[in-house]
Chains A and B, each alone.
Chain A
Amino acid sequence: MYRYDEFDHDFVKARVAQFRDQVERRLSGELTEDQFKPLRLMNGVYLQLHAYMLRIAIPYGTLSPRQMRMLAHIARTYDKGYGHFTTRQNIQFNWPALSDIPQILEDLASVEMHAIQTSGNCIRNVTADHFAGAAADEVADPRPYAEILRQWSSVHPEFSYLPRKFKIAVTGAERDRAAVQVHDIGLHLKKNEKGELGFSVYVGGGLGRTPMVGKKIREFLPEEDLLSYTTAILRVYNLHGRRDNKYKARIKILVHETGTEELKAQVEKEFEALRNGELQLSDADIAAIQAYFAPPALPARPEGDAALAKAAARDAGFADWLRRNLHTHRNADYAALTISLKGIGEIPGDASADQMDAVAELAERYGNDEIRVTHEQNLVLPHVARADLKAVFDRLVEIGLATANAGLVTDIIACPGLDFCALANARSIPVAQQISTRFGDQKRQEEIGDLKIKISGCINACGHHHVGHIGILGVEKKGAELYQITLGGSGDENTSIGEIIGRGFGPDEIVDAVETLVETYIDHRQGREETFLDAYRRLGPAPFKEALYGREAKAA
């Protein structure tokens, strides 16, 4: 993985010293809250309901065991013994004292981490496929490009005061696991007929109060032009983005109001002026970064499958887990495995300090020193020999992280919601916990099959509800929580925005409503191979509406 050079170290150190000074000046009263707030946000510090919150970047979701141990240390020393992994491949600590944050940042800097650009109107943490560098179906590892983008965008003087936040995601496979079409810029790394690497470029995707699917404005952008073209997009956005209205300030609104063709023409014009200039990436530039992401040496371990078959026959729980939580590795002796942070009835994305330490140790012993954080709020060990899976599983059982539910109905994304978030209208996490408990039976969830439920506590959509197969949005109505359901959303290579199905449900009704939807799907599906999403796309909303509201509709 990427290692800081001297410049990076000095830069992050200087930034910590600067923030330490700013915090001291705030506490002494030299800075007012109005002066300090933008400074703290630039360093990932929010104020939530109960306390400050610190959001730490995990670039493209890649963590080393040493870094994971530092997160555990921070959880123990300065927070309340746990951390919360988020849909943006970040981690959030919910209880730090402002006075401790400079020291936390210093500790982070010692393992090459920081919280810069995790908030504010700048280019945010660049996200990527969590199976990058491991997946059998990938054309190339997208992370070197994500790292190039990260370096280019870090305190970029021209793009530090954009109209609004700006998010970039990169995938290197046809199967999009990075939700690139709901980002401000989505990049799909691919090869052309000549075998050269480049990107399909999507622009103007996003969720929030105006969800939009990104528009493809380039079928193939040569890799050398990555920064020139991205700069061109940012320039057009920076110039024309709606600074007059923060709800209309995202690039998706600009694309929508300008029209894709016109916007594309503006970008291409800007690009023509920039290309072949100093932003052009040479082969040597790219190779230098790629070297940091060299695949680990994976010795042949052909004994794996026989051992697995034997172990699975003896241990049904292990067999379940093998069925659900493995992803095909490009090396047949290895697997990428998902560590579910969605224990039945538990809080999506939370991990205790002890669990973090245990995962770090597993990555060292069996995982070639690599850990990933997924945008679905799980962890991944990308390179584990199949022969070692049983040992890893047994340890995961001991630490309570062996839930065999990747991609199932209990693998729910939920934002912090009203339990933590100052902007929330309703709670999200308890809804996730109740749904998880209702569907917790392993047989039942597997019978239901792939189904993504995503929950947000307000229209900002941090829980990605618009792209949930079943999306749940919390609103406040007459002082009480109410949950609106959307159906048919999806955040993959066939991205779609879910449609609102009808009136909302109270906190005591929402789980039953979800169960009704699931039962309706089971009744109507053409077989187990037809997933909930496929069935919805075939059937449309009618049978689901009927099941949810039929009686009322008839009574009315």
Chain B
Amino acid sequence: MKLLTANRLIDGEVVWLAADGSWVETIEGAEIAHDKDAETRLSAAGLLALANNEVVDVNLIDVEIVDGEIRPIRLRERIRALGPTTHINLGKQARKQTAAFG
């Protein structure tokens, strides 16, 4: 299983490609590629977005589903999805907390 991820050009925000072709800020919204065809389609969309100067550093990453949630295989990608483990008040994890409490 794979997802397409990148950083948004204008502010560097970590984003994933969603099924509707938009780049979303939380991993839950990402489109999962379950087979080679879907991977090829995601990669092509990534190249296009790069060429259109929407995003930079585009990568296809491996994920699994754990307890119904998307979990990247590599620690690096898990940290990108949440924010630095050293500053839990920063990054996406902080926004989630605010949302949960708000």
Interface residues of A (CB under 8 A from B): 26-27, 29, 32-33, 47-52, 80, 95-99, 347, 418-420, 422, 424, 427, 429-430, 433, 479-481
Residue of B nearest to A49 (CB): B80
Which chain B residues lie closer than 8 Å to A430 at the CB level? 85-86
Given the known interface contacts A97-B10, A97-B12, A479-B75, the answer about A47 and B56 at a Cβ–Cβ threshold of 8 Å is: yes
Partner of A33, one of B50, B76, B84: B50
Which chain A residues lie closer than 8 Å to B74 at the CB level? 479
Among A96, A418, A422, chain B packs the most CB atoms within 10 A around the CB of: A418
Q: Number of contacts between A and B (CB, 8 Å)? A: 72
Q: What would 12 A/B residue contacts be, using CB atoms closer than 8 Å? A: A27-B10, A33-B50, A49-B79, A98-B10, A99-B10, A347-B87, A418-B79, A419-B87, A420-B84, A422-B57, A424-B76, A479-B73
Q: Is B18's beta carbon under 8 Å from chain A?
A: no
Given the known interface contacts A27-B9, A29-B52, A419-B79, the answer about A95 and B90 at a Cβ–Cβ threshold of 8 Å is: yes
What is the bound-complex CA distance between A419 and B84, given in angstroms? 5
What is the bound-complex CA distance between A429 and B86, given in angstroms? 7
Which chain A residues lie closer than 8 Å to B12 at the CB level? 47-48, 50-52, 95-98
Given the known interface contacts A95-B90, A420-B84, A430-B85, the answer about A47 and B53 at a Cβ–Cβ threshold of 8 Å is: no
Residue of B nearest to A481 (CB): B75
What is the bound-complex CA distance between A190 and B89, given in angstroms? 48
Interface residues of B (CB under 8 A from A): 7, 9-14, 50, 52-53, 56-57, 73-76, 79-80, 83-87, 90-91
What is the bound-complex CA distance between A52 and B8, given in angstroms? 10
Q: From residue B31, how far is it (CB to closest CB) to chain A in Å?
A: 22
Q: From residue A285, how far is it (CB to closest CB) to chain B in Å?
A: 43
Residue of A nearest to B62 (CB): A479
Q: From residue B46, how far is it (CB to closest CB) to chain A in Å?
A: 13
Given the known interface contacts A419-B84, A429-B86, the answer about A33 and B56 at a Cβ–Cβ threshold of 8 Å is: yes
Residue of A nearest to B84 (CB): A419
Q: From residue B1, how far is it (CB to closest CB) to chain A in Å?
A: 16
Q: From residue A29, how far is it (CB to closest CB) to chain B in Å?
A: 4
Q: From residue B71, how far is it (CB to closest CB) to chain A in Å?
A: 13
What is the bound-complex CA distance between A479 and B78, given in angstroms? 12
Residue of A nearest to B74 (CB): A479
Q: From residue B56, how far is it (CB to closest CB) to chain A in Å?
A: 5
Residue of B nearest to A37 (CB): B56
What is the bound-complex CA distance between A309 and B91, given in angstroms? 47
Q: Is the CB of A51 within 8 A of B75?
A: no
Residue of B nearest to A507 (CB): B75
Q: Is the CB of A98 within 8 A of B75?
A: no
Q: Is the CB of A99 within 8 A of B11?
A: yes
Which chain B residues lie closer than 8 Å to A420 at the CB level? 84
Among A27, A50, A96, A422, chain B packs the most CB atoms within 10 A around the CB of: A50
Given contacts A49-B14, A50-B12, A419-B86, could you give 4 more A-B pairs where the C-beta distance is less than 8 Å? A49-B79, A97-B10, A427-B85, A430-B86
Q: Is the CB of A97 within 8 A of B80?
A: no
Q: Is the CB of B75 within 8 A of A47?
A: no
Which chain B residues lie closer than 8 Å to A48 at the CB level? 12
Q: Is the CB of B85 within 8 A of A419?
A: yes
Given the known interface contacts A47-B56, A50-B91, the answer about A347 and B86 at a Cβ–Cβ threshold of 8 Å is: yes
What is the bound-complex CA distance between A422 and B74, given in angstroms? 13
Q: Is the CB of B7 within 8 A of A433?
A: no
What is the bound-complex CA distance between A95 and B84, given in angstroms? 12
Which chain B residues lie closer than 8 Å to A32 at the CB level? 53
Which chain A residues lie closer than 8 Å to B84 at the CB level? 50, 419-420, 429
Which chain A residues lie closer than 8 Å to B53 at the CB level? 26-27, 29, 32-33
